[in-house]
Amino acid sequence: VFDKNGDGFIDKEEFTFCWNHWIKVIVRPVSAFLIVDVQNDFISGTLNISKCNAQQDGSEVIEPINRLLDTVPFDAVFYSLDWHPPDHVSFIDNVHMRELHPSNPVPADKAQAYDTVVFAGPPPMKQRLWPRHCVQDTWGAELHKDLKIMDGAVKIYKGTNPEVDSYSVFWDNKKLTDTSLGNQLRLRGATDIYICGLAYDVCVGATIADALAIGYRSILIEDASRGVDLADIEKTKATIVNNNGVIVNSDEVIAMV
Ligand code: VGL
Ligand code: ZN
């Protein structure tokens, strides 16, 4: 098609054809915006992250997220929800329901929220214990009421297996089962994934690590994320940068529009 006349030029019509059919298809990014776990329990409920070491206010992510949704034409929008059954393995008040491994650093009756224990298995399984949170169909598991929900957006539920926790929105922590996120991104031909939400150093961090491992161009929106532990947030940032991810503020994403 190029240079039909052999005069060293292609005409406008030819260029338009090439652009629409080949160049744009190859070059144009297909973007997905993934909003992680902006749920009541993490903001003002049982796992209120403002009471954790980093003392960050989870409600502060809502304004930048809504602004992004209002201004950036993402090709797809996903909301993930931590969605646990009442007998979930990560709940401190369930620690007596399962046997601990002899190597366990903390005896079962001394274990406290935020401790890491080892369950007997087999195989043995490390697990951080959390206050009971995001129980299915409770207020604490609902997305915050001020968060804008886009028409046609997809909700992804994770942590539904009582025996396995799930930080990443792609896979549970043992990589036994995947959510539909991977398939949905493939279906849409997604190339770029913008990630933010709660908690920066837990579910957001695990999700962007998986997105980078799969090979997506992965962008962490920092002012739209809040975390639990300052040292862990720093580790998360280092992991992102070391794996060629990008850390930006929402203004920088909006400026590209
Ligand atoms: C999360 C702790 C426990 C999160 C979920 O969404 O970051 N954190 N479960
Ligand atoms: Zn959880």
Q: Are 71 and 150 in contact (CB under 8 A)?
A: no
Q: What is the pLDDT of residues 140-190, one digit of tens each?
A: 999 999 999 999 999 999 999 999 999 999 999 999 999 999 999 999 999
DSSP label at 33? E
State how far the alpha carbon of 145 is from the alpha carbons of 40, 44, 91, 141, 196, in Å. Answer: 8, 12, 25, 11, 17
- pTM, entire model: 0.91
Residues in contact with 175: Cβ distance below 8 Å, sequence separation at least 6, in sequence order: none
Alpha helices in 24-144 (DSSP H): 24-27, 40-44, 62-71
Q: What is the pLDDT of residues 11-30, one digit of tens each?
A: 898 899 988 888 887 888 99
Candidate from 34, 35, 37, 226 with most ligand 1 atoms within 8 A of CB, to mutate? 37
Question: Could you give the dihedral angle defined by the CA atoms of residues 83, 158, 205 and 72, in that order, rounded to the nearest 10 degrees?
Answer: -90
Q: How far apart are CA 173 and CA 126, in angstroms?
A: 10
The mean pLDDT of 81-106, rounded to a whole number, is 94
Q: Given a cut of 90, is residue 4 above it in pLDDT?
A: no
Question: Which positions are catalytic?
Answer: 37, 158, 203
Residues in contact with 45: Cβ distance below 8 Å, sequence separation at least 6, in sequence order: 39, 133, 139, 140
* Ligand 2 (single-atom ion) residues, CB below 5 Å: 82
Ligand 2 center–CA 254 separation, angstroms: 31
What interhelical angle do 230-242 and 205-214 show, nearest 10? 10
Q: Given a cut of 80, is residue 2 above it in pLDDT?
A: no
What is the number of the ligand closest to the CA of 162?
A: 2
Ligand 2 center–CA 253 separation, angstroms: 29
Q: How far apart are CA 231 and CA 108, in angstroms?
A: 26
Please provide residue 21's backbone torsions phi and psi, each rounded to the nearest 5 degrees: -90, -30
Q: How far apart are CA 205 and CA 198, in angstroms?
A: 9
Q: What is the pLDDT of residues 186-230, one digit of tens each?
A: 999 999 999 999 999 999 999 999 999 999 999 999 999 999 999
Q: Given a cut of 70, is residue 55 above it in pLDDT?
A: yes
Q: Would the CB of 82 count as within 6 Å of ligand 1?
A: yes
Joined tokens for residue 189: 């031909």
1 pLDDT tier (thresholds 50, 70, 90): low
Report the percentage of the chain scoring pLDDT > 90: 84
Ligand 1 center–CA 201 separation, angstroms: 9
Q: Given a cut of 90, is residue 231 above it in pLDDT?
A: yes
Ligand 1 center–CA 227 separation, angstroms: 10
Q: Would the CB of 194 count as within 6 Å of ligand 1?
A: no
Checking ipTM against 0.95, whether it exceeds it is yes
Q: How far apart are CA 35 and CA 195, in angstroms?
A: 6
3 pLDDT tier (thresholds 50, 70, 90): confident
Query: Tokens 């929402």 appear where?
Result: 250
How far, in whole angstroms, is CA 94 from its chain's centroid?
Answer: 25
β 154-158/116-119 pair status: unpaired
State how far the alpha carbon of 138 is from the alpha carbons of 85, 135, 202, in Å. Answer: 11, 6, 22
Q: What is the pLDDT of residues 108-134, one digit of tens each?
A: 778 999 999 999 988 999 999 999 999
Q: Given a cut of 90, is residue 257 above it in pLDDT?
A: no
